[in-house]
Structure 1
Amino acid sequence: MSPTITVLTAAHADEVLAIYQAGIDEGNATFETTAPTWAEFDAAKLPEHRFAALDATGRLLGWVAATRVSDRCAYAGVVEHSVYVHPAARGRGVARALLDALIASTEAAGIWTIQSGIFPENTASLAVHARVGFRMIGTRERIGRHHGVWRDVVQLERRSPRIS
């Protein structure tokens, strides 16, 4: 059964942060070592570009959210996103449904680029992004240290088909 996609709100805060922390703990989702507070998360994420995937009982299966990449006018149509899925819900189309919702919202808002940086070891995330139209634009080698180890990050982007 496909998840129900809805707007992500403060009502989802505890589950959002728990899923975020689970991704952090697995080691291949982010350079972060602890999830932010809900206030920090809420302040950083664009309200019109964040969604929750729910199962039939209303339990949160995953989330997607976008942030501005810059306050400069030239980058007004560029966002960076994160997508996280509960470990028990992976492989069930949750990330795909969340990315589809994000793409629909950014297209409606005139966003021309969605970007993300993903660890190369996170092959499932790279694959689902490719399936929804993201392309690899390069690898930033040894871009940051994570638990004392230099890590590479694959840069992905999805350009709106409205932009030629």
Structure 2
Amino acid sequence: MPSTGGDATTVAVRPLAPADWPAVEAVYREGIAGGHATFEATPPTWAEFDAAKHPALRLVATTGDDVVGWAAAGPVSSREVYRGVVEHSLYVARAARGRGVGGLLLDALVAAADDAGAWTLQSGIFPENTASLRLHATHGFRVVGRRERIGLMTYGPLAGQWRDTILVERRAP
């Protein structure tokens, strides 16, 4: 899988293993705390995450033994007609941001999705998460549209506010 650099700061991307869950959950919690990553107030349990994500579409970025980011995707529907459409999430640890981790993860997730037969990768991103929107645009995702007042925030300083998301997608060639 992809990596960058050749020293102690080398970032590698590999499949997410169950043993990675505590570190993945910690990165997930950091994203939640920022208020612009998800509507979820807490991460799922490992069992919930495992059940919802496609086994071939779960990746971690590591520096040495440390998980510094993760990406995963799961089906948007159980209907056969949508079998190749997956929704993804991507989180980078605060300390690893700005080092290309997100790009490595997104490239690896796109390749894994292509290999798994997914023809559409999509995600809903808060408009305030400009770094994620730029990352996705740089990696071939297009904005499909804005979903206005799609969800009611239940935690943090924006609790009680309706939030918009920007729907982005990448179609397989």
Residue 89 of structure 1 is matched in structure 2 by 96
1:82-139 deviation digits (Å, cap 9, x = unpaired): 0000000001111110011111011112211000000000000000001110000000
Q: CA RMSD in A?
A: 0.8
TM normalised by structure 1 equals: 0.95
1:5-32 deviation digits (Å, cap 9, x = unpaired): 1100111010000110110011000000
TM normalised by structure 2 equals: 0.90
Unpaired runs of 5+ in structure 2? 154-158
2:86 to 57, 71, 79: 79
> Secondary structure of 1:47's partner?
coil
Residue 156 of structure 2 is matched in structure 1 by none
Taking every aligned residue pair, what percent have the same amino acid on both sides?
A: 56
Residue 5 of structure 1 is matched in structure 2 by 13
2:71 to 64, 69, 75: 64
1:37 to 37, 45, 53: 45
Question: Any runs of at least 4 consecutive aligned residues in structure 1 with deviations exceeding 4 A, and if so which?
Answer: none
CA distance in 2, matches of 1:40, 1:77: 21
CA distance in 1, matches of 2:21, 2:116: 25
CA distance in 1, matches of 2:113, 2:49: 19
Q: What is the Cα deviation at residue 41 of structure 1?
A: 1.1
Unpaired runs of 5+ in structure 1? none
CA distance in 1, matches of 2:34, 2:22: 19
**Structure 1 segment 135-146 matched on structure 2, within 5 A:** 135-146=142-153
